[in-house]
Amino acid sequence: MKKSIFLVCQILLIGAVSAQNKWIETDKGDFKIVSNPNGQKLGYSPNSGVKIITVNGLAFKDLNKNGSLDKFEDWRIPADLRAKDLASKLSIKEIAGLMLYSSHQSIPARPGGYFSGTYGGKPFKAGETDPSDLTDQQKKFLADDNLRHVLITTVQTPEIAAKWNNKLQAFCESVGFGIPANNSTDPRHGTRAKAEYDAASGGEISMWPSSLGMAASFDPALIQKFGEVAAKEYRALGITTALSPQVDIATEPRWARFNGTFGESPSLSAAMAQAYCDGFQSNIWGNKSVNAMVKHWPGGGTGEAGRDAHYAIGKFGVYPGNNFNAHLIPFTQGAFKLKGQTKMASAIMPYYTISWNQDPKNHENVANNYNKYLLTDLLRTKYKYDGVVCTDWGVVSLHRQMDSFIDGKPWGLEKLTLNELHYKALMAGVDQYGGNNDIKPVIEAYNMGVAEHGESKMRSRLEESAVRLLKNIFRVGVFENPYLDSQETKNTVGKPEFMKIGYEAQLKAIVMLKNQSKVLPVAVKKTVYVPKRFVPASRNFLGMETPASEDYPVNMDIVKKYYNVTENADEADFALVFIENPSASIGYDKEDIKNGGNGYIPISLQYSDYTATEARATSIAGGDALESFTNRSYKDKTAKTPNITDAKLVEATKAKMKGKPVVVSINTSNPMVFSEIEPHASAILLSFGVQDQAIIETLVGKSEPSALLPMQMPADMVTVEKQAEDVPFDLKCHKDSEGNSYDFGFGMNWKGVIKDARVLKFKK
């Protein structure tokens, strides 16, 4: 009898508890989902040790496994308060781990070379290694170094990325306070030019034009749409931070990173920056948001003579036009003034450059990542920015070579030790170290600060960074649920709807520069001659070589859908020539040193050989620990352009066509000198990383060109040498045979030169 009464009481008690609980749990295999009605959805791994706590019938994750609900675990509390609570509980070692941002991680890891990894001590082997497993190196930096910010590069498939994410998050959940990983990526929505677009099919990820191409639309709404689509795809891949947008105003036409910008207009760049961040971060923080890390403060587009600061040879950003403040506009009027409720970009990345003589307070000529005036006095104090400041990758590494892309970049501080570099950046205002998996120098930097300022001040300084870093993780909801359904990932990433929107954006990124006698559009079924293009041997930024080749530069299957194709120019109605803008060097050549020079050579924007007779006799800035001189002038030296064959191809095709139309399609990443090819072209289409199909459909008239130049096209290299690296719109522009000037905002449609409100809004 007593046993029966006990059982009845037990059943009643369980029923009462169940009635109290308002949440429902669903088993997803590797993880469980807990649904709170009118509350947050939680995800946790049953193998991580995390349990569910019930308070007032609602479910919460016991991340620190102490059996009670801490403030940081309470999803009802604002993100900033949760971040402060958790930061106060963390050890210095745990905070130091938060301040790390991993080196590049591919899924799976490469078996050798750069960014390689191992699995149980062995390299990845297809068919044997599970590509969704964590590498030995990842397990180490997550467990031993407390790293929680991971930079993802290539992924084998979206589903594998989702499975890898779940294993990563379960691992993080099992350690310490269960802080989830904040995964990130550089831009990954570029196109595969020869891929055919089909409205009914999907892809690995939606394809869009380059940032410069989207800027050519002069349409901020387009880039906000990109941000919204890209955010959905990123979240489906487990990515919660975008290392973008790049909002530097590209006032130096020779700069290698021109293509990643929104062009040279401060106002257009600001509008695009605002729209991009609003799109990614969404109107309000939550599980649809992706943190935007805007770059590069305070603007990296002023490298002297166009040289890039990834290399020691390009470490100096110069301001001969005294135009420093204009470079802040995309940040202060764009990324820091969002229309949505997220208010401002949640993170910012300074560039490698030394902003030469732009520190009026401390007069330091050190890289922007180390400059306290730029990061604390200007960014924090004057502009009230309180997001994360993360160094660019490799800044806190040692410098050993003048022309290596992967060399350390402690510009202006080359003689400091690794620990001293971390300390210098920390005290300048940096919250996070890009590309560093190792906690030891961060701990040593902290110890140096304790010796100089005392433990209380340094603890406070590190907590300040921890709060910012944690706040960005709380805001995007991964403390509640970092797990992914791999099937949903497969259905989301690159789905037909997103591919369609991206393709339509590509069509809006094609500028028609010339249309002599209205040769365009060319009716279907005409006969076209497409010459093969020679591509010289090249070496990429990591030193990997590509042999020379000669082939059709366009997907001929797409061309044949619209035109009859002939290899005999005499039989053709018109010719279609595909080329690229002149491919410049980095502005440095070791052969010049062997011949007694300083190594510096011109960066050319023309196809033919260029001799820099009008270059500065004395450079504005100079000096490096590996050099015994400061004058980096290249005056009177000659630069050769590897793809001079492109200009020769246009000229040769004109001769073959004997007066019949020659249409030239140019894929460009930089401004270029048109005088060598424009006279030989009947029509010119300029594109920025779009699919071949978008060009062909414009050519046949299925789509009317509407894009405008987001930069000026120089008349010659003399005007390039005479312009100021920091000033937009100071080039003498090319004027073509039709009397049109290739100036900022120029573009044509079938009727002629476009003159609409976009031009007036963003013109100079």
Whether residue 7 is predicted with pLDDT greater than 50 in this model: the reply is no
Whether residue 19 is predicted with pLDDT greater than 60 in this model: the reply is no
- What pLDDT digit, counting tens, does each position of 55-84 carry? 999 999 999 999 999 999 999 999 999 999
Q: Let me know: does 722 contact 731? Beta carbons within 8 Å.
A: no
Question: For residues 460 and 35, what is the distance between their CA atoms, to the nearest angstrom?
Answer: 37
Nearest to 466 by CA among 245, 239, 179: 179
Query: CB burial class (10 A; 0-12, 13-18, 19+) of residue 460?
Result: exposed
Gyration radius (Cα) of the chain, Å:
28
Q: Which two structure tokens, joined as six digits, stand for 341? A: 């409720």
Question: For residues 444 and 25, what is the distance between their CA atoms, to the nearest angstrom?
Answer: 45
φ/ψ of 12, rounded to 5, equals -65, -40
Q: What is the pTM of this model?
A: 0.95
Tell me how crowded residue 254 is: count the other CB atoms within 10 A of its CB: 25
- What pLDDT digit, counting tens, does each position of 142-182 carry? 999 999 999 999 999 999 999 999 999 999 999 999 999 99
- What pLDDT digit, counting tens, does each position of 699-708 carry? 999 999 999 9
pLDDT of residue 541: 59
Q: If you average pLDDT over residues 611-619, what whole number do you get?
A: 98
Q: Which two structure tokens, joined as six digits, stand for 457? A: 């001040």
Q: Which two structure tokens, joined as six digits, stand for 327? A: 């470079």
Q: Where are the beta strands (DSSP E) in 637-729?
A: 638-639, 662-667, 683-687
pLDDT band at 477 (very low <50, low <70, confident <90, very high): very high
Question: For residues 252 and 734, what is the distance between their CA atoms, to the nearest angstrom?
Answer: 17
**Where are the alpha helices (H) located in 217-366, listed in sequence order?**
220-236, 266-281, 329-330
The helix, strand and coil proportions of the chain, stated in percent and rounded to the nearest 5, come to 35, 15, 50
pLDDT, mean over the chain? 94
State the residue for tokens 């001929």. 556
Structural domains of the chain in order of their starting residue, each with its CATH number: 2-77 (no CATH), 98-188+228-481 (3.20.20.300), 510-583+644-706+733-762 (3.40.50.1700), 585-642 (no CATH)
Question: For residues 280 and 234, what is the distance between their CA atoms, to the nearest angstrom?
Answer: 9
pLDDT band at 197 (very low <50, low <70, confident <90, very high): confident
Question: For residues 679 and 489, what is the distance between their CA atoms, to the nearest angstrom?
Answer: 50
Nearest to 63 by CA among 147, 178, 149, 140: 178
3-state secondary structure of 325: helix
Q: If you average pLDDT over residues 665-691, what whole number do you get?
A: 97
Pairing, β 291-297 against β 347-350? parallel
- What pLDDT digit, counting tens, does each position of 740-762 carry? 999 999 999 999 999 998 888 88
Choice between 512 and 549, residue whose per-residue pLDDT is larger: 512
Nearest to 131 by CA among 101, 105, 149: 105
Residues belonging to the chain = 764
State the residue for tokens 């509350």. 39
pLDDT band at 542 (very low <50, low <70, confident <90, very high): low
